Amino acid sequence: MTMTRKPTIDDVARSAGVSKGLVSLALNGRPGVSAAARDRIHAAATELGWRPSARARGLATRRAYSLGLVVRREPSTFEADPFFAAYVGGVESVLGAHGQVLVLSVVPDRDIEEATYRRLVSDQRVDGFLLTDLLDNDPRIELIKSLGGRAVTLGRPHGGTPFPAVTRDYDSGIEQLLEHLAELGHRRVAHVAGDESMQHARTRLRRHLEVADRLGLETIIERTDFSPEQGAAATRRLVSRADRPTAIVYANDPMAVAGIAVGHELGLDLPGELSIAGMDGSDMGRFVYPTLTTLDNDPAGWGRASTQALLDLIEQGQADDVPLPPAALIARASTAPPTRAS
């Protein structure tokens, strides 16, 4: 009766008639193994169905062969986030090919967030972190540095960083969007900004103001926390103004969708009486009425690029910044020439 224990490297070595040290060299593609031995070893390994134990390997090499992603979200805003899912898909597509895994943590507040980072590195569960939702002066960068961890950021931190950054130019996308609105005849365009402690919220607002200035557009600013609730509330305030804007640009798509709902609720003719645009390139923008004009934002591309950069950093000890192709306008039905004089 053959006991079917999971085969170890010793089994492979015995079966191939070599030492286990040599098996290790051969299977990791290191030089200094004769072709004959290499073949025998590979044959034995596949025949036995051997796969190295990740934890034994990790113990010897002091690696975890996994990457960490910790996401802090209010339970209420999390669900609506169109970026997240496709991003993880992109991460996985490169991680899987490298035999590594993603350790995901969803935390409700900053304290638990910090504790989670500490735990993940002190328990040595991950080799590095993917840093999404960058804050304006993000404490996680200093934290991870002080813990001796590695990371890659999505966006380049204004406060400087010892880690590589993946970046995407939104400027040209915002430019295209505002030019699109200007060409349609809009002169007064509101910007519903997101949480300004987050870096991309500030960047998007600043760029909006610059471009609007150049195009001679008047800008009205509303500030929110990126949640649909506050997006809806901002919309109500804007629409009830005497100098009501003819178009509203939202810093993310969930707020834009909530803005569309408010428009319907108030009986506005969309997009004639009010044009609406988002910035996330979300898929859900295709299933609202009118379909949402937005900026394309390839989350899977972010996932692939950031993962590759982090793996490079971990394995080569060094990695360059990665610029993604610029975001571009996706013009759909929620923007049109204004039917009222502004």
Q: If phi over 0 gives left and psi between -120 and 50 gives alpha, with beta otherwise, what is residue 247? A: beta
Distance CA 283, CA 279 (A): 12
- Contact between residue 250 and residue 281 where contact means Cβ atoms under 8 Å apart: no
Give the CA dihedral 305, 307, 308, 313, nearest 10 degrees. 120
| Among the listed residues 84, 129, 163, 170, the single contact to a second copy using CB under 8 A | 84
Q: Is 79 in the site for a second copy (CB under 8 A)?
A: yes
State the residue for tokens 């557009």. 217
CB of 35 to DNA, least distance (A): 8
Number of residues that bind DNA (CB under 7 A): 32
CB atoms under 10 Å from CB of 314, counted, come to: 19
> Does residue 268 bind a second copy (CB under 8 A)?
no
CB 250 within 8 A of CB 190: no
* Residue given tokens 């640009």 in the structure block: 249
Question: Counting contacts by CB under 7 A, is residue 6 touching DNA?
Answer: yes
Choice from 2, 3, 32, 316 touching DNA (CB under 7 A):
32
From 265, 269, 315, 320, residue interacting with a second copy (rule: CB under 8 A): 265
Shortest spacing between CB 27 and a second copy, in angstroms? 13
Q: 189-248: which residues touch a second copy (CB under 8 A)?
A: 228-229, 231-232
Q: Are strands 128-131 and 275-277 parallel, antiparallel or unpaired?
A: unpaired
Of 51-90, binders to DNA (CB under 7 A) are 51-53, 56-57, 59-62
| Torsion over CA: 219, 257, 278, 177 (sign) | negative
The one-letter code for the residue type at 249 is V
22 touches DNA (CB under 7 A)? yes
Q: Is 162 in the site for a second copy (CB under 8 A)?
A: no
What's the distance, CA 51 to chain centroid? 31
Q: Is 20 in the site for DNA (CB under 7 A)?
A: yes
Q: Looking at beta carbons only, is 49 or 317 nearer to a second copy?
A: 49
| Closer residue to a second copy, CB minimum distance, 106 or 209 | 106
Binding site for DNA (CB under 7 A): 6, 8-10, 17-25, 27-28, 31-34, 36-38, 50-53, 56-57, 59-62
